[in-house]
Amino acid sequence: MTMRDIRIIGDPVLRTPCEPITSFDTELRALVTDLMDTLLGAPGRAGVAAPQIGVSAQVFVYDADGHRGHLINPTLELSTELQHDDEGCLSIPGLYFPTPRALHATAHGVDQHGDPLTITGSGFLARALQHETDHLRGRLYVDTLRGDTRRRALREIRAGRYSSPRRA
């Protein structure tokens, strides 16, 4: 089992949009395995995206609502109906804020062999798909917050100690 260090807010890799994956080789399969090992070593988490372990590649793994897997080069279709549950992130440890997300999401992409893959979910799975896809675009969940909630989140992030990598 290879657990990788989680990059913490402030690391530029978390704010850089990832390159699409074009090579479906043993290196990619090893990355997917490392991502899943890292996720499974962080109980209670819903997903880990490649930039969170310092790799600029469009791939994430997820384990939410009884569904576990990975997705490469994802695109999303989102419902207009929203959910407003608390959300957190391994890259901003210990902070959780009510975060608006689409209630339903369908993610299209490919698996580690390049075969087409579609994942459809509601509730927590939909939230996880959106959260992890945002990571691949250089966005963190706090970027979706607005108003007083955003101000409170930014204040708490500034007050936190987020300067070194942390083991998931």
Structural domains of the chain, ranges and CATH numbers in brackets: 5-167 (3.90.45.10)
* pLDDT at 45 (0 to 100): 82
Per cent of the chain over pLDDT 70 is: 93
* pLDDT at 165 (0 to 100): 46
The pLDDT-based confidence of 168 (bands split at 50, 70, 90) is very low
Region 2-9: what's the mean pLDDT?
Answer: 93
pLDDT digits (tens, 9 = 90+) for 25-81: 999 999 999 999 999 998 668 999 999 999 999 999 999 999 999 999 999 999 999
Write out the E strands in the chain. Answer: 5-6, 47-49, 59-64, 67-78, 82-83, 86-89, 92-98, 101-102, 104-110, 116-122, 166-167
pLDDT digits (tens, 9 = 90+) for 116-153: 999 999 999 999 999 999 999 999 999 999 999 999 99
Per-residue pLDDT at 160 exceeds 90: no
Per-residue pLDDT at 161 exceeds 80: no
pLDDT digits (tens, 9 = 90+) for 73-98: 999 999 999 999 999 999 999 999 99
* pLDDT at 162 (0 to 100): 62
**Nearest-10 Cα torsion for 130, 44, 50, 146:** 40
The residues annotated as belonging to the active site are 132
Which has more pLDDT, 160 or 142?
A: 142
Tokens representing 21 are 């994956």
